[in-house]
A and B are shown apart, each in its own frame.
Chain A
Amino acid sequence: MTMYNKAYMVPNPMMPNENVTFNAELCTGCNTCVDNCRSGVLVPNPEKGKPPIVLYPDECWFCGCCVGDCPVPGANKLNHPMNQRMGWKRKDTGKHYRIGMKNPPPPNTRPPVG
């Protein structure tokens, strides 16, 4: 178990806190997402090549352009706030599913058109 040996005086804002998350292994720090965000939610990392910093998550419109315009698939991810995650029911089994569940069903890879 890793414990921080330091604690910080950091304000704790209202949710959402993690509207966009980055995979630091894949993200190249190109800032395409920063430049396509209408709300200024993201700012460039002062360290070049590192993922942007999510500065104003509560101003996000959840349009998803940061993910849609990202040149590296999987480098970032849009996360609906927990109180906005609507569920669904599989018609033949009656089983309920939701975004954020443990052991989710496999992704559906069909594009919206074509």
Chain B
Amino acid sequence: MTTWYEYVQKDASNLEWPYPIRYGEENAITSDVLVIGGGVAGCHAAINAVKRGAKVVVIDKGPVRRSGCSGAGVDHWHAACTNPCSKVTPEAMLAEYEKDGGNSYGELGNGITCYITCQEGYDALLDVEKMGVPVRDLNDEFVGAEFRDNKTKYMFAYDYESKHIIRIAGGGNIKPAMYQEVKQLGVGIYDFVMATSLLTEGGKQGARVVGATGLNLRTGEFYIFKAKATILAAGGGGGLWTFSTELKGSSGEPNMTGDGTAMAFLAGAECTMQEGGRGSAGGLGYFPHSAGNAHNSWYACNIVDANGKEVPWIDRKDGKVLKTLSERYRLAPGEFFIHSGGSPYLHREPSIITDLPERIQNGEYVLPLYADLPGMPKHERRAIYGLQVGNEGCTRYGIYDVFTKAGFNPDIDMPQTPVMPADQYVYTPWWMGMAVRQWQSGGGGLVFDWDLMSNLDGLYVAGMQGAGGDHSMAAATGRYAGRKAAEYARTVGMPVIEKKQLEAEKVRVYAPAQRNGGMGWKELKAGLCKVMQDYCGEYKSEGTLKMGLDWLKSISESEAASVYARNPHELARALECLTHITLGEMVFHAALARMAGDSPAGSKTIMLEKGKVRAGERPARWWLKPPYASTYGENYKKHCGI
């Protein structure tokens, strides 16, 4: 008897919620620093704030021990520029990124967070190593491998020459190690508590942030977190365009619903890049890393077709076939370093042949394709299906263990790749399956300064709220925001919470729990996704975007006003749907602002002022313009707090 259905059939009389129900009961918690979201960014933030003497509280929708995108692991660490083997300085990396227009920093956010990551990403890695996470090849398993440095025992990924990306020997359990540290340092941990709104001084939009309200996902209790400084380290807005229980392969981290961004916007925070939704391949694919692949953590795996014919790799500049595996990890003439995935062409890695779709169509390569792990040198094979697939998020237990227990052996077996229309075999992780262009994933975050403080006094950002999404970036910005928030908390008094704001939030939060009948959260969620697909898909016009806003307004007055919750878990999901409406409105407003503007180099911003949306703009590389200094180094030195 393990499923609910079996349970019901045994004992249909006892279906009461297994936790005590305490809807509306208040818990008041006071701290110097409140951290919203206990993932990688939140844990680093909490650790760094508490080490500077602040009283710190961290809250999370899930258990901090395992929450966040890296809760189930991380396999490689980007932008470890300051490691002793690296040939890329932070300045040099930034300079390369800026050749591409200065607005694309890949998963590292904008210029500020990118530079902080290049400066401190490696320090954060040393931090977690001290917490007990195996980073180096201490067992000498990989002696003789091209990617191993014999002195430091570091192992590198993607780029065996510039050595700025480190493969982690035991990242699968990084979160439990960080959790131990957070606990030992005396941080107040509130697991299964979802932040529902930010509290502001006097309850006013645009005023200083003085804490947050929370809801316990098990008991339904209400929390009032009063704090001198608040760090928003919650996940970004995922799942705005797709919702399906069948198409599991497309789903992102389930708690990553963008509540943090939405509540900051409602409190008056200036937000940016909301319209920058990335194309999502999602939907008809497989779990990440469960299918064979050539890029991402599988870089640079041998690929063969159904008849065992090898699919060649080519150089990114002249398209010449690279004859050896080793060449795939080497710099092209004039290239300074290799970055991975979605980064600008300037420092891109080699790829499998770019005309593979045509060559599949003309019969030269026969589907399905396979990842030829057995055909690779043993260290390279083990680095992919061991070091990396054995430690990446969701892969330690979810993939490596599941497949090896089922008898898969990378020494002799070749994982299949999905069979798709030929034009889908382009540069993307193939497990994501067929790209439906109408479907996107959310992007964007808050605008912040060189202190990582938003335009709202006392509200700091870390991790995905800085519009990036990489592990190293989350760790580095978490460290930085933790220091800055603790420093700020020393300079301000304990605020007063506005009662009216609390009462209004309680009414909003508990409304779905008081309804009988109406709409369930899943139907509402799917309907909201449809609005995004229809009116903010591949084809957009001012007309469709305005229609989208009208639809969201109409839904918020009708279906969303009827959404019900039968227990605290459903209540949280129903509130996430209300967040979905706010995030959707933000995307439509930002897209309208982008359409109306004529300077593609800058970033569009939106914020609420007295309840009205105001669109604004930041010039390109605003973080190096007055009032800031003109170089990254000067700004960092002045603000970093070290």
Q: Is the CB of A22 within 8 A of B2?
A: yes
- A67 CA to B63 CA, complexed, in Å: 15
**A interface, by DSSP: helix, strand, loop or mixed?**
loop
One of A46, A81, A91, A113 near B387 (C-beta < 8 A): A113
Q: Which residue of A lies closest to B285 (CB)?
A: A84
A15 proximity list for chain B (CB < 8 A): 245-246
Q: Is the CB of A58 within 8 A of B18?
A: no
Q: Is the CB of B290 within 8 A of A86?
A: yes
A68 in contact with B397 given A61-B251, A91-B375, A107-B407 (CB within 8 Å): yes
- A13 CA to B61 CA, complexed, in Å: 24
Question: Interface segment, B90-98, B122-130, B262-270, B398-406?
Answer: B398-406
Q: Is the CB of B391 within 8 A of A112?
A: yes
Give the contacts of B54-94 with A (CB-CB under 8 A). 61-63, 65-67, 71-72
Q: Which residue of B lies closest to A44 (CB)?
A: B18
Q: Is the CB of A64 within 8 A of B287?
A: no
Question: Interface segment, B3-11, B434-442, B593-601?
Answer: B3-11
- A65 CA to B401 CA, complexed, in Å: 11
Q: Is the CB of B390 within 8 A of A112?
A: yes
Task: Determine whether B298 belongs to the interface, using a CB cutoff of 8 Å to chain A.
Answer: no
B176 proximity list for chain A (CB < 8 A): 69
Q: Is the CB of A61 within 8 A of B394?
A: yes
- A107 CA to B191 CA, complexed, in Å: 36
Q: Is the CB of B402 within 8 A of A83?
A: no
Count of chain B residues near A, Cβ 8 A: 78
- A112 CA to B399 CA, complexed, in Å: 11
Q: Is the CB of A10 within 8 A of B5?
A: yes
A10 in contact with B9 given A67-B397, A80-B287, A113-B390 (CB within 8 Å): yes
A34 to chain B, nearest CB (A): 9
A45 to chain B, nearest CB (A): 8
A64 proximity list for chain B (CB < 8 A): 72, 394, 396-398, 401-402
B444 proximity list for chain A (CB < 8 A): none
Q: Is the CB of A21 within 8 A of B2?
A: yes
Interface string of B288-311 (1 = CB under 8 A from A): 001110000000000000000000
Question: Interface segment, B44-52, B408-416, B540-548, B618-626?
Answer: B408-416
Total A-B pairs in contact (CB under 8 Å)? 202
B375 to chain A, nearest CB (A): 7
**B interface, by DSSP: helix, strand, loop or mixed?**
loop
- A68 CA to B376 CA, complexed, in Å: 29
Q: Is the CB of B254 within 8 A of A36?
A: no
B409 proximity list for chain A (CB < 8 A): 105, 108, 110
Give the contacts of A1-38 with B (CB-CB under 8 A). 4, 6, 8, 10, 13-18, 20-22, 24, 35-38
B217 proximity list for chain A (CB < 8 A): 40
- A20 CA to B248 CA, complexed, in Å: 15
A16 proximity list for chain B (CB < 8 A): 245, 248
A108 proximity list for chain B (CB < 8 A): 404-405, 407-409
One of B139, B389, B416 near A89 (C-beta < 8 A): B416
A87 proximity list for chain B (CB < 8 A): 416
- A20 CA to B431 CA, complexed, in Å: 22
- A109 CA to B7 CA, complexed, in Å: 34
B161 proximity list for chain A (CB < 8 A): none
B402 proximity list for chain A (CB < 8 A): 64, 78, 80, 99
A97 to chain B, nearest CB (A): 6
Give the contacts of A37-71 with B (CB-CB under 8 A). 37-40, 43-46, 50-65, 67-69
Task: Determine whether B156 belongs to the interface, using a CB cutoff of 8 Å to chain A.
Answer: no
A38 in contact with B400 given A14-B245, A112-B389 (CB within 8 Å): no
Q: Which residue of B lies closest to A105 (CB)?
A: B407
What are 9 residue pairs bridging A and B, where the CB atoms are less than 8 Å apart in the complex?
Answer: A14-B245, A44-B18, A53-B4, A67-B401, A78-B398, A88-B416, A90-B413, A107-B405, A110-B404
17 new A-B pairs (CB below 8 Å) besides A62-B248, A88-B408, A91-B412? Answer: A16-B245, A17-B3, A18-B3, A38-B61, A38-B67, A51-B2, A53-B18, A56-B569, A59-B254, A61-B394, A68-B396, A81-B246, A88-B416, A91-B375, A107-B407, A108-B409, A113-B134
A residues sitting closer than 8 Å to B (CB atoms) are 4, 6, 8, 10, 13-18, 20-22, 24, 35-40, 43-46, 50-65, 67-69, 78, 80-81, 83-84, 86-92, 97, 99-100, 104-114
